[in-house]
Amino acid sequence: MISSGLINGLIMGGVLSLPVLGVAVVYGITGVPNFAIGLIGVFGGFTTWYFLSTGLITAILLGIAVCFPIGFFLQRVLLTPLGRKKSADATLFFLITCSFGFIVEGGIRSLFPRATINIALPRLGAIHIGNVSADGFKFVALFVAVGTLIAIRILEQHTQAGRSLQATSQNLKLATLMGINTDLVFSLAHGVGCSLAAVGAIFWGSLYTLDMGTGWHLGFVGFIIAVIGGIGNIWGGLISALLMGMVMSFAGYLLGGVWQSVILYGIVILVLIVSPRGIMGSERAL
């Protein structure tokens, strides 16, 4: 039971960690919590599903690529100018991004013929670890999450673009004074974050089903897990996603499925009271 709980928790955490990385990148760098990010990711998932007949790789790349300009221009046209206003606060961004989520939801409903889909990606067969067996495809999500995280780290360490992202997230005023185009950095980060959310939605849509509710769920749960990890701290986000996956998995085994959310959100409240900057620490608090 313990090994089964661990492996299932790991898999659930792996799937959850992808939208969490999107949230962590966007909020960590821009300081704007985008609650529409899950819906934008779902838009990417629907795009992949719609174009599957053109080829698997093309469809996945299209799904990921279409989310980049949405995030980029959302930041460039709406959020960056709003952020300059003195009246801009977290409540305003909450309302704006939620409203944008409803616009994306309307867009999905009007553009695609179905409201609930399953993305039929090729399976890898069962993988056996001890006496536990699981769909091998589920492990891919975990590897993709870890691989993405390592890629982001390499980008940060070895490229000027990565250093500019890091500098902007750590000290916006100084980065601007140094001559970094922080408006462009914000837009790029938001584009990348939304593309990561699309990767998460594509996996989710392949393992389960994808609909509008999934979009809101991934956005909010992704945000909560990112907060617990230490918002903007992408390693913290991954570790937090894996821990939360474990918690949900064991809560399901020991107490039944209805208790998963109770335990999860109970831990969220506890962590926020004890450590508002998350378990791994963060430059930002809520």
Partner 1 sequence: MAEPILKVTNLIAAYGPIIVIKGIDFDAFEGEIVGIVGPNGAGKTTFLEALVGNIEVREGEIHFLNKRIDGLPVMKRRKMGMMLMPQENYIFPYMPVKRNLQVAGFLNTDEEKKELLEFVYRLFPVLAEREKQIANTLSGGERKMLSVGMSIMANAKVILIDEPSIGLAPKIVTALFENLKTIKEETGKTLILAEQNVKILNIADRIFGLEAGEIRFCEKTEDLDEAVVKELYMGE
From 7, 167, 185, 221, residue interacting with partner 1 (rule: CB under 8 A) = 167
Our finding on whether 181 is near partner 1 (CB under 8 A) is: yes
Which of 8-16, 96-104, 130-138, 171-179 is the region at the interface with partner 1 (rule: CB under 8 A)? 171-179
CA 63 to CA 61: how far, in whole Å? Answer: 5
Which of 127-135, 172-180, 218-226, 240-248 is the region at the interface with partner 1 (rule: CB under 8 A)? 172-180
Q: Report the half-sphere exposure of 100 (CA within 13 A, side-chain side).
A: 23
From 164, 214, 249, 260, residue interacting with partner 1 (rule: CB under 8 A) = 164
Element at 62 (helix H, strand E): helix 56-73
CA 136 to CA 113: how far, in whole Å? Answer: 30
Our finding on whether 283 is near partner 1 (CB under 8 A) is: yes
CB of 179 vs partner 1, minimal distance in Å: 4
Exposed / middle / buried, residue 191 (Cβ in 10 Å: 0-12, 13-18, 19+)? buried
From 58, 171, 209, 261, residue interacting with partner 1 (rule: CB under 8 A) = 171
Our finding on whether 166 is near partner 1 (CB under 8 A) is: yes
CA 64 to CA 217: how far, in whole Å? Answer: 19
CB of 277 vs partner 1, minimal distance in Å: 13
Our finding on whether 155 is near partner 1 (CB under 8 A) is: no
Please identify, using beta-carbon distances, which residue of 70 and 280 lies nearer to partner 1.
280
Please identify, using beta-carbon distances, which residue of 181 and 261 lies nearer to partner 1.
181
- For residue 46, give the amino acid letter: F
SS3 state of residue 192: helix
Q: Are 39 and 105 a contacting pair, CB within 8 Å?
A: yes
Q: CA torsion sign, 243 to 245 to 250 to 251? A: positive
Using CB under 8 A as the criterion, which residues of the chain lie in contact with partner 1 when the complex forms?
160, 163-164, 166-167, 170-171, 173-181, 283
